[in-house]
Structure 1
Amino acid sequence: MCPSKSLYIYFTATTCDGKSENRRIFVIENTNADPFIGTFTWKGQITDATNKWAIDGTVLQHPSGQLYFIWSGWEGDVNERQILYIAQMSNPWTISSARVEIARPIYNWETNHFPYINEGPQVTIRNNVISLVYSASGSWTNDYCLGLITASTNSNLMIPSSWRKQSSPIFRSANSIFGPGHQSFTKSRDDREDWIIYHSARYSGSGWTRQVRAQPFTWNADSTPNLGSPVNPNIPIRLPSGDQNRVRYEAEHARHFNGPYPHPHSSASNGFKMGYIDYLDSVVEFTIQCPKSGTYIIVIRNANGSAGNAFATHLLTINYDNQIEIPIVNSGWNMWGASMIRVNLNQGANTLTFKKGLNFAEINALDVFLDE
């Protein structure tokens, strides 16, 4: 959040004994123009006078310049439901008013698991319409989803009746994506497209074993976000506008020894995947061409369906040196995910050699681009 030239990060923490009932929200500040090289300083806890349980704080920057803090909290000291509250701020780390309830779980899709939950508020403003997108139901279930509350920038946001909650979720399980929720809004690099980043279950019933996903969204005629439905994990999504192009290397074109071989599957990029990397001496070897020496990002499209939802790894060496262990989480066979690494490559040809690590995983393709 950047209401000024400073960057503020809001995070939730609890006491060292790990007791959930002690969760509160805190703030750190970075005044450097580039926060990736600057220093963050501690601003402390941000709370209203009740100092009740609180998570998922975010800031609404009103066009007038007034700042509002919105978060998910308990009404009392017992975990019965999570309510969305709003309060005015006097600066980015201080609440200056009493908290006001703007939403609580009331619909059956919000109250189908206990405790009842409204959480993860995120705000966007378009044509004087404030859209507050929040998460509802249990994040450990397939029913986790996104709801929408709206208000006008011309209304008094500290009056609960200024906020109107839609009676149906706007983003929920579909297309082999389960329990999508806790999204954030962002823009493409060239500022031309709107995207959401959210997390979902890795597979049906996976609980808090989750994954991060992203996809573009559009706008409804009433200036609220049209998130559509989660895109199937095996349906390609074009790169965000303004992102640099990647060079793709299909696994079926890689050299392979001692077990691995390419075999067809409709979910795979170009229709083939490299499987049966089953033995300690199994090898899959790519040749990567680089226009110049430098730091490159390599995105490995892979899948892990090991028995018992077990974690898997591949062992990667670059130009026959510097072995790297590549973690591959379990989402099931043919449910493709990605492992990303940042490495130094030489101008011209580079050899990337994959070997079996823990358990079992397949490779579909590599995407390679210069880190700049």
Structure 2
Amino acid sequence: MKIINDKESAGRRLIVLYLLFFLPYGIGIATAQVKKKPLTFTNPIGNGADPWGIHHNGYYYVCQSNGDINSKGISVSKSSKLSQLGKPITVWTAPDKGWNSNQIWAPELHHFNNKWYIYYAAGKAGPPYIHQRSGVLESVTDDPQGKYIDKGILNTGEDKNDETGIVWAIDVNVGRINGQLYAVWSGWEQNETTDKTSQHLYIAEMSNPWTISSKRVKISSPDQPWEQGGPLDLNEGPQFLMRNDHVFIIYSTRESWTPEYRLAQLKLRDRTKSPLDAGNWEKKGPVFQGNAKVLGTGHASFTQSPDGKEWWMFYHTKKHTAPGWERDLRIQKFTWNTDGSPHFGSPVPAGIALPVPSGEK
């Protein structure tokens, strides 16, 4: 048997005291230092174009067309993080024939009355992209990644001489103003035989999520110097952005296949007057545009951080200066000016660490 002397016993007691009192304190300091390190992310967060995101019941659902401009399907991904995309699940595939059998562009996901609706553009063929019309899908259940049924084509302008009876239209977005549901989209004044045709923004009332119930009203044309100068003047990708008593439409202008793609703004002057009055919209721009390191910023959608304390924009940029549709997806926080309008700032170059959205863990 080993005999422990007083010195050994005292030494062991000191070790025990250290383990009981000082080690937890040291661990606490180390833990506190780890907690203080900010969580960050870098752009881009993915590949693709025309991003649409919506925050619902603690998750971010992102709706996209599958693949490039020649897509034939639509997917929805799910993630608890705004800064990290989830796995895309295909929820709808275009039919083999018909007006919406090809060129599935810019789908958007919206939630009304416990159902999900996807608004998208499609054509029977292309290029040339002269056949694009807009349609809507409705979920069978209250599951954005579940099955959808085709609710048909939207009446975005009548043309009795066209086989669909409808005027060319893309990028449908919907929103409520004073309780009334409205659709806003990019369209042509009339159907043409060339896709080198100028695009305008139109608005109309909806009687339900799949029916446009009023005549369309043109509220914007590419008539400003900063909307012109490229191979094709256009307005497209309109998105309602509402906060407090202010109603904005943030849209894209110039050409999506060039580095000059940028965002502009329409503001509803008087919310007590009709949004169908073209004179009730005030134009401003550009409100967000690229630079030497960030090219072709456009087609944004908007959401809030997980805790609702911050506003974020979700947009795409071009990967190269050469004309084309190779693009990536980015998110960036924005703030609000004292007059109630959004302040988007300047696009942050890829690879720079940014704090994750507030409340994201």
TM-score, normalised with respect to structure 1: 0.62
Partner SS for 2:130:
helix
The answer on 1:26 being equivalent to 2:135 is yes
The change in CA–CA distance for 1:202 and 1:243 in structure 2 (over 3 A counts) is same
Secondary structure of the residue that 2:255 maps to in structure 1?
A: coil
SS of residue matched to 2:338: coil
SS of equivalent to 1:80: coil
Structure 2 counterpart of 1:145: 262
State the one-letter code of the partner of 1:209.
E
Instruction: Count residues with an aligned counterpart.
Output: 241
Once the two structures are superposed, the pairs formed by residues 234-313 of structure 1 within 5 Å of their partners are 234-244=351-361
1:109 pairs, out of 226, 231, 234, with 226
Unaligned runs of at least 5 residues, structure 2: 1-109, 159-165
Q: For 1:194 and 1:242, locate their aligned partners in 2 and report how far apart those are by CA, in whole Å.
A: 12
**Is residue 2:360 matched to residue 1:211?**
no
Deviating more after overlay: 101-110 vs 199-208: 199-208
Match of 2:103 in 1: none
1:60 equivalent among 161, 172, 175:
175
The verdict on how the C-alpha distance between 1:161 and 1:33 changes in structure 2, with shifts beyond 3 A counting, is same
The structure with the largest alpha-carbon Rg is 2
- Contact 1:80–1:114 (CA<8 Å) still a contact in 2? no
Structure 2 residue 274 is the aligned partner of structure 1 residue 159: no
Determine if the alignment matches structure 1 residue 42 to structure 2 residue 150: yes
Is contact 1:48-1:97 (8 Å) kept? no
**TM-score computed with the length of structure 2 as normaliser:** 0.64
Separation in structure 2 between the aligned mates of residue 199 and residue 234 of structure 1, nearest angstrom: 15
Residue type at the aligned position of 1:185: F
Deviations for 1:73-100, whole angstroms, at most 9, x for unmatched residues?
0002234310000001010000001100
The 2-side partners of 1:89 and 1:18 are apart by 31
One-letter code aligned to 2:186: S
Task: Report how far residue 234 of structure 1 moved.
Answer: 2.5
Structure number having the greater helix percentage:
2
Question: RMSD of the alignment, in Å?
Answer: 1.5
Q: Which has the higher strand share?
A: 1
Distance (Å, rounded) in 2 between the aligned partners of 1:165 and 1:17: 32
In the alignment, structure 1 segments of 5+ residues that lack a partner are 245-372
Tell me which residue corresponds to 2:119: 10
**2 CA distance for matches of 1:18 and 1:138?**
16
Instruction: Encode CA deviations 1:177-196: one digit per residue, 9 max, x unaligned.
Output: 01100000011122221111
The 3-state SS of whatever aligns with 1:72 is: strand
d(CA) in 2 for partners of 1:99, 1:220: 31
